[in-house]
Amino acid sequence: MKPNRYILWGMTKSTLIHIFLLSVTLTCLFPIFWMLRCALMTNETVFVDHSVIPHQLHFGNFAIAWTKGNFAVYFLNSVIYTVCVVTGIVLISSLAAYSLSRLKFPGKNIIFYMFVAAMMIPLPGSFVALFVLMTKLHLANTRFGYILCMINVGLSMSILLFKTFFDKMPQELEDAARIDGCGKLGIWWNMAMPFARPAIAVVVIFNSLNVWNEYILATLLLGDSNLMPLQRGIMVFQGANSTDYPVLMAGLTMAAVPIIMVYLFMQKHIVKGLSSGEVLG
């Protein structure tokens, strides 16, 4: 009867493992479900109706948040910031990484180690000085200023990631392009960038997540509500309408859904990026 017992034990074991995994899955998904559920209720029913699925679905909160809650502006701002910052980071960091990896000039190593060191040294309070600087430069409360600050945040990690890719690029590729008459910029754009496509994907995804979810600098630098991104706008809305939970939940849904969608479509790259350890330095 020995094999039978083995099978039985194996089955119990895998059932237990599934119960464990499923219960964690449930705790992961439940708060998000709860946010959606409450976004679909009215201010009257949300305090009274305790059923898991509300009796009446009410979609008006999204419209209220979008117009009266100013979320249309916040949402657009978040899109602008994310697109500008990520484009900026990809271009600037890949240019720098290309030069640091394939080209020669004096002081190159010092510059590279400076970027590496910046990644290792946490600067939790530098936002105080950054705020002072931005005010002095008259860049506080401007889109441009915020974008520049956010580009700086993602720069070191992206340069490191691009450099590890460019280091692996075969010399023959570069030589072939040079024979075809490409200049340095041409090689960077036509050869190196397509070669580093996986790195671009990782840089784009991680920086998009980071910019979309950023809060501290947006709070410090952007006081004008027409310039605020979503995360900041949500807190402003919450401060002004602290009891209007359904509309607040609708606003949270608008901030969460795009990022979840991006994640679901791109999760292969996220796992790859995290697993390669390159993101971590």
Q: Which of residues 131-150 bind another protein (CB under 8 A)?
A: 131-133, 148-149
- Does position 21 bind another protein by CB under 8 A? yes
Tokens of 200: 């671009």
User: For residues 263 and 270, is the Cβ–Cβ distance under 8 A?
Assistant: yes
* Residue with smaller CB distance to another protein, 22 or 72: 22
User: For residues 99 and 168, is the Cβ–Cβ distance under 8 A?
Assistant: no
- Does position 240 bind another protein by CB under 8 A? no
* Residue with smaller CB distance to another protein, 221 or 227: 221
* Stretch 95-124 residues interacting with another protein (CB under 8 A): 95-96, 98-100, 103-106, 108, 111, 114-115, 118, 120-124
- Does position 63 bind another protein by CB under 8 A? no
Alpha-carbon span 213 to 229, nearest angstrom: 9
Query: At 173, phi and psi to the nearest 5?
Result: -55, -45
Interface residue with another protein among 56, 128, 179, 197 (CB under 8 A) is 128
The residues, any chain, with a CB within 8 Å of residue 68's CB and separated by 6 or more, are none
User: For residues 262 and 194, is the Cβ–Cβ distance under 8 A?
Assistant: no
Interface residue with another protein among 200, 249, 250, 278 (CB under 8 A) is 249
Alpha-carbon span 152 to 221, nearest angstrom: 15
* Residue with smaller CB distance to another protein, 57 or 185: 185
Burial 217-246 (b: 16+ CB within 10 A, else e): bbbbbbeeeebbbbbbbbeebeeeeeebbb
Site string for another protein, 168-197 (x = CB under 8 A): ----------------x---x---------
- Does position 8 bind another protein by CB under 8 A? no
- Does position 72 bind another protein by CB under 8 A? no
| Shortest distance, position 213 Cβ to another protein, whole Å | 4
Rounded to 5, what percent of the chain is helix, strand, coil? 75, 0, 25
- Does position 267 bind another protein by CB under 8 A? yes
Tokens of 178: 């040079």
- Does position 29 bind another protein by CB under 8 A? yes
- Does position 204 bind another protein by CB under 8 A? no
Tokens of 114: 């400076």
* Stretch 34-53 residues interacting with another protein (CB under 8 A): 34-35, 38, 46-48, 50
Q: Which residue has the tokens 């990690």?
A: 157
Contacting range for another protein; rule: CB under 8 A; set: 24-32, 57-65, 169-177, 193-201: 24-32
Which H helix or E strand runs over 8? helix 2-39
